[in-house]
Chain A
Amino acid sequence: MAETLLLDRRWITRGAERASTARFLLWLAPWVFLLLLGIYAAGLCLYYGLNQTNMDNRFAFGLWIFADLSVIALGAGAFFTGFLVYILKQEDLKPVLNSAVVIGLTCYSGAVAVLMVDVGQPLRAWFTFWYPNTHSMLTEVTFCISCYLLVLILEYVPILLRNRQLRKVPSFLVFEHQFHKLVPVLAGVGAFLSFFHQGSLGGLYGVLRGRPFAFRQGFLIWPSTFFLFVLSAIAVGPSFLMLVTATAERLTGRQLVQPSVFRKLGFISGVLLAVYVAAKAIDTYIWLNFTTPRVGFGPSDFYSYQPLSSTFLFLAMVPFGLIPAVLLIVPFTARRRGLLLLAAVLTCCGVLLNRFVLTVQTLALPTLSFDEFLKYTPSWQEVATFGAVIAYGVIVYSLSYRYLPLFEAPKGENKHVSLG
């Protein structure tokens, strides 16, 4: 491509075809606008306080916590793919590993940024580390997410140092080479940390005795939601990774990974989703028949309020659970790209719905006889901040795709030797 169209050609990996600079900037423009709007909204919230939101003492969790839980679940592909490649030696997933790291990094850093706005008082953010309440699931979440974000940043460093211009600095190139050898250690630590914080995010709801809709029995100190959150996160991670890759392929018009990688991600996602749906069904059965009756509640107390009725439970179990699991596992449907991606979309929707239900429905439902069904609509500041996280993710991923070798072909494809 002529250099006049690619003004940033020298920063782009040699041999990689990318859109013209003007077209790329045009693509970024709306996302940058959304990001700036979100930063302004977040600034208002930090300056004036949470009166800029529509949350209150009764409805303390809103769009932001839903966003946090969602992006952290969707970003689980990072730790899970790393675990599969480095610990379980599934080398054929290596082509999507860099992409998974970038997705994880954007998801987790976005979540931490929103959490900072939600908690407020950023100058005192270090209090949570300095004075930890070790009985709180939230403390475990804070510690693990912060530590895992550090892991993701370090995992991103070797990818960043593969940029064409940065490679020209010998110390960067050697560091990238050496550090890359140590990444399996980070993958192991990441898997450990992620297991606990994904679980603790679920445990956070499961221990709410005052909220029978969320409260669950469990194993030792962990309610069942701890394990369900871990399962759902590792089920949705590969699906989201597949969706992002497919979207990148669609937008760039290039095949980035082999179809076999998609099928493998889909199969892993499908099997885990099936296990999750089965576990969720058992959990719901125990909860409805044993846990809630003990505290004087019945199913009608939870599912008689519109629009958050039993439809949501059905949606989560069948169209967003069982159906995508079957589509992802059965070879006949998994071979068809359209169906595979549809299943991935449904899987993501299922996990988003689950996070929405646990965050919003839990707080909306009355728990005392004089309570009313609460309604909450996020303010524009909340929506803008949420939008900024999405914009931030798109921008970081787009820049990474353009300037870094995100989808590497597996090496070692040397041709056979033939004597002439």
Chain B
Amino acid sequence: MFPWVDGFHWTPLHITFLSLFFSALILVVSTFISGAWRTFKDFRSNRAIDLCWRAEFAQLPEAERCCRHQLAGRLDARICDNAFDCRSCQKYPEFAALPARLPAGNAGIGYDDRLLYHRGHTWVRPEWDGTYTIGLDEFARHLVGRPDFVKLPAIGADIASDGVAWRMRKNGHEIRVRAPIEGTVMCRGGDGEGWYLNVLPHGTPNLRHLLSGAEVAGWLTGEIDRLQLQLAAPNATACLADGGALMPDLMDAELRADWDTVLAGTFLDS
């Protein structure tokens, strides 16, 4: 195999054969190393979280990728192709100028007009000191109730938009809550406080990707529809919803449901 190994011959056939073999082998190994190196570079340049989110987004069912303007009734149907990042959406100004046809109001669950909402069921509230408070919305709180365990990031840690902000555990299910904005964690709350994190953004934050007003109503209505379908008994017949409110602490109330699927849909996890 090598000149110093017994049996090696300096003949054209021998050299050609081994050259071809080593070329193929080097190409294969260098391809693998190149993949690993690109991964390393993505982490170093902070592109990794964005790549992860975009990969996760691509796995979401089409129904869960609908555009915010569809939620508000500005468009009949549109699937987001920008990983819910309206900040870089070229079409946003054109669509946002259209009138919202769905009124803000009763979505089947409460929401606050003063808050901005992320599709991963977190809300954001700007504070007077330039920081932003992040909490779980009513829908998620009704679902999870009181979590068994919460793992918040340390004070001073950075969180990235659409990356994992904190983790919770409930009835053996791990829940990864996505961060609605990027920033440095200044304070930590918890379920009892009604909020989870207080963050200081890096510079002036662009919050255009967060939902507000009629969009929130349309989105939450869709979320409740999804939840009803996911919690319906297998082979259940179609039925009309008769109103009513979402009961609190659903995960404890419906232990036998497929919570894995429900939680994945709720918290935008593939």
Q: Which residues of A contact B (CB under 8 A)?
A: 1-4, 6, 9-10, 13-15, 129-135, 139-140, 143-144, 147, 150-151, 154, 164, 167-168, 170-171, 173-179, 182, 185-186, 189, 192-193, 411, 413-420
The listed residue (B34, B59, B260) touching A10 by CB distance below 8 A is B260
Q: Would you call B6 and A132 a contact (CB within 8 A)?
A: no
CA A415 – CA B81 in complex, angstroms? 10
**Given A143-B21, A418-B76, A177 and B234 contact (CB-CB distance below 8 Å):** no
| Sampled A-B contacts (15; CB under 8 Å) | A15-B261, A131-B5, A134-B14, A143-B17, A143-B21, A147-B24, A171-B48, A173-B51, A174-B48, A178-B42, A182-B35, A185-B31, A193-B24, A418-B75, A420-B75
- B109 shortest CB reach to chain A, Å: 23
CA A127 – CA B65 in complex, angstroms? 56
Residue from B32, B77, B265 with most neighbouring chain A CB atoms (10 Å): B32
B104 contacts chain A at the CB level, 8 A cutoff: no
CA A2 – CA B260 in complex, angstroms? 10
Residues of chain B with a CB closer than 8 A to A129's CB: 1
B202 contacts chain A at the CB level, 8 A cutoff: no
CA A44 – CA B80 in complex, angstroms? 60
The listed residue (B49, B79, B269) touching A414 by CB distance below 8 A is B79
Q: Would you call B14 and A170 a contact (CB within 8 A)?
A: no
Q: Would you call A131 and B6 a contact (CB within 8 A)?
A: yes
State the 10 A-B residue pairs at the shortest beta-carbon distance, nearest first: A179-B35, A178-B38, A175-B39, A134-B17, A131-B7, A418-B76, A414-B79, A173-B52, A174-B48, A134-B14
B73 contacts chain A at the CB level, 8 A cutoff: yes
Residues of chain A with a CB closer than 8 A to B258's CB: 1-3, 6, 9
- B189 shortest CB reach to chain A, Å: 25
Q: Would you call A414 and B28 a contact (CB within 8 A)?
A: no
Residues of chain B with a CB closer than 8 A to A416's CB: 77
Residue from A6, A129, A186, A419 with most neighbouring chain B CB atoms (10 Å): A419
Residue-by-residue, is B6-49 near A (CB-CB < 8 Å gives 1, otherwise 0)? Answer: 11010101100110010011011001101110110011000011
Residues of chain B with a CB closer than 8 A to A170's CB: 48-49, 52
- A189 shortest CB reach to chain B, Å: 5
B206 contacts chain A at the CB level, 8 A cutoff: no
CA A101 – CA B41 in complex, angstroms? 28
Q: Is chain A's binding surface mostly helix, strand, loop or mixed?
A: helix
CA A289 – CA B169 in complex, angstroms? 78
- A387 shortest CB reach to chain B, Å: 32
Q: Would you call A167 and B28 a contact (CB within 8 A)?
A: no
B88 contacts chain A at the CB level, 8 A cutoff: no
**Given A178-B42, A417-B78, A14 and B36 contact (CB-CB distance below 8 Å):** no
Q: Would you call A154 and B234 a contact (CB within 8 A)?
A: no
Q: Would you call A171 and B28 a contact (CB within 8 A)?
A: no
Query: Across the two chains, which residue of chain A brings its CB closest to B80?
Result: A414
Q: Would you call A14 and B1 a contact (CB within 8 A)?
A: no
The listed residue (A6, A171, A175, A411) touching B58 by CB distance below 8 A is A411
Q: Would you call B32 and A154 a contact (CB within 8 A)?
A: yes
Q: Would you call A177 and B13 a contact (CB within 8 A)?
A: no
The listed residue (A131, A133, A134, A418) touching B77 by CB distance below 8 A is A418
CA A170 – CA B234 in complex, angstroms? 34
CA A417 – CA B62 in complex, angstroms? 14
CA A171 – CA B43 in complex, angstroms? 8
Q: Would you call B36 and A175 a contact (CB within 8 A)?
A: yes
Residues of chain B with a CB closer than 8 A to A174's CB: 39, 42-43, 48, 51-52
Q: Would you call B1 and A130 a contact (CB within 8 A)?
A: yes
Residues of chain A with a CB closer than 8 A to B49's CB: 170
B146 contacts chain A at the CB level, 8 A cutoff: no
Given contacts A131-B7, A174-B48, A179-B32, 12 further A-B contacts (CB under 8 A): A1-B258, A14-B59, A14-B265, A132-B17, A132-B18, A133-B7, A147-B24, A151-B28, A154-B31, A174-B51, A417-B91, A420-B98
Residues of chain B with a CB closer than 8 A to A179's CB: 32, 35, 39
Q: Would you call A186 and B28 a contact (CB within 8 A)?
A: yes
B176 contacts chain A at the CB level, 8 A cutoff: yes
B101 contacts chain A at the CB level, 8 A cutoff: yes
Residues of chain A with a CB closer than 8 A to B91's CB: 417
Query: Across the two chains, which residue of chain B brings its CB closest to A179?
Result: B35
Residues of chain B with a CB closer than 8 A to A2's CB: 234, 256-258
CA A143 – CA B18 in complex, angstroms? 10
Residue from B11, B78, B256 with most neighbouring chain A CB atoms (10 Å): B78
Residue-by-residue, is B252-270 near A (CB-CB < 8 Å gives 1, otherwise 0)? Answer: 0000111111001100011
Query: Across the two chains, which residue of chain A brings its CB closest to B30?
Result: A185
Residues of chain A with a CB closer than 8 A to B264's CB: 14
B113 contacts chain A at the CB level, 8 A cutoff: no
**Given A147-B21, A174-B52, A185 and B62 contact (CB-CB distance below 8 Å):** no
Please report which residues of chain B, range 133-190, place their CB below 8 angstroms from some CB of chain A when the two chains form the complex.
Answer: 176
**Given A2-B256, A175-B39, A14 and B52 contact (CB-CB distance below 8 Å):** no
Query: Across the two chains, which residue of chain A brings its CB closest to B37?
Result: A178
Query: Across the two chains, which residue of chain B brings its CB closest to A169?
Result: B52
B74 contacts chain A at the CB level, 8 A cutoff: yes
